[in-house]
Amino acid sequence: MRVQMLGLCRFSYLGGRGFQVMHETLAERRAFLYDPERLARRWFWFENVTLPGLLAQTDPDFTLVLMTGPDLPEPWLSRLRELAGIMPQARLELVPPMEKHLDACMAAIAPHIEPDADVVGHFRQDDDDAVAIDYIRDARTDFAAMRPLWERRRRLSCDYSRGLVLKVTRDGVSVEQRVIHNASAGLTVYLPPDAQRSAVHFQHWKIGLSMPGVTLAGKAMFVRSLNHDNDSGAIGAGYPCPDDPAGRGRILVERFRIDLDTLDRAARDFGLPGADRPR
């Protein structure tokens, strides 16, 4: 059975809806998203939190769609083009502003769905979150055990619910290991290739209304980054895990290839308040 693993990463995509930070006009949203200092921070998190684990996947057989607008300012658009040229799994999709955000996401994803796959494992990869280096492998191999449940409705979610939360403030980065129920990071949505849907089409915090789901919390599988530039500053429903605080940096390195000291220095240099900010 062929399970295609297909991710969507939206890098400051300019469009309508799909956002919790709202703006009255498209021009206001463009000014917010394309602010040079904000884009520099977004790229830093993308380069130092998101990419390392993806580049180190133990199963390199996946596709990551990088979705942005055709007018993304330089040098960020050229950097995405360069990444798509050197990362075998990356596909750059430039989508003009569309009022319906889900339609825009489907326009980006649709060309990369393998029609002859038996199942597509969709995942949403925010540009400041991370998945562990064995995420693709486990999401593919674990499906074999879940297949009978998937065949009931030809929809299924798998929630790797244990992860690390990075809280970024002007004072640096704190780390906490938590179980978060159906966080967007580490959540796989298995659909048939002709479903005309993806992970973003289902609100992750209430995905149980749309399909059966399996929860696996045996090991840290995601990093959720909470910083000033998040669209949402909410952690999500869950609870802390008993662990060794001194070992959190080791987990970040071993499972995500993330260097905490680098992030901590950058957070202090950015000098911004945390994600829980007024809107």
**pLDDT by residue for the chain (279 residues), tens digit each?**
899 999 999 999 998 655 555 666 888 889 999 999 999 999 999 999 999 999 999 999 999 999 999 999 999 999 999 999 999 999 999 999 998 999 999 999 999 999 999 999 999 999 999 999 999 999 999 999 999 999 999 999 999 999 999 999 999 999 999 999 999 899 999 999 999 999 999 998 899 999 999 999 999 999 999 988 875 556 778 788 888 888 999 999 999 999 999 999 999 999 888 765 433
pTM of the model: 0.93
Query: In angstroms, rounded to a whole number, what is the distance separating the alpha carbons of residues 187 and 167?
Result: 20
Q: How far is CA 13 from CA 25, 29, 149, 180, in A?
A: 15, 10, 35, 26
Query: In angstroms, rounded to a whole number, what is the distance separating the alpha carbons of residues 36 and 5?
Result: 33
Give just the sign of the alpha carbon dihedral 5, 128, 9, 182: positive
Q: Is 78 helix (H, G, I), strand (E, B) or coil?
A: helix
Give just the sign of the alpha carbon dihedral 24, 30, 31, 35: positive
Which residue type does 50 have? T
The whole-number pLDDT of residue 279 equals: 39
Query: In angstroms, rounded to a whole number, what is the distance separating the alpha carbons of residues 230 and 127?
Result: 10
**Helices 260-270 and 248-256: angle between axes, nearest 10 degrees:** 100
**Neighbouring residues of 155: CB distance < 8 A, sequence distance ≥ 6:** 189, 190, 191, 195, 210, 211, 212
Query: In angstroms, rounded to a whole number, what is the distance separating the alpha carbons of residues 19 and 169?
Result: 22
Query: In angstroms, rounded to a whole number, what is the distance separating the alpha carbons of residues 272 and 42?
Result: 13
On the 0-12 / 13-18 / 19+ scale of CB atoms within 10 A, 85 is exposed
Query: In angstroms, rounded to a whole number, what is the distance separating the alpha carbons of residues 67 and 11?
Result: 6
The whole-number pLDDT of residue 26 equals: 83
3-state SS string over 29-42? HHHHHCCHHHHHHH
The whole-number pLDDT of residue 242 equals: 84
Determine the length of the chain.
Answer: 279
Domains and their CATH numbers in the chain:
3-270 (3.90.550)
**ω before 75 within 30° of 0 (cis)?**
yes
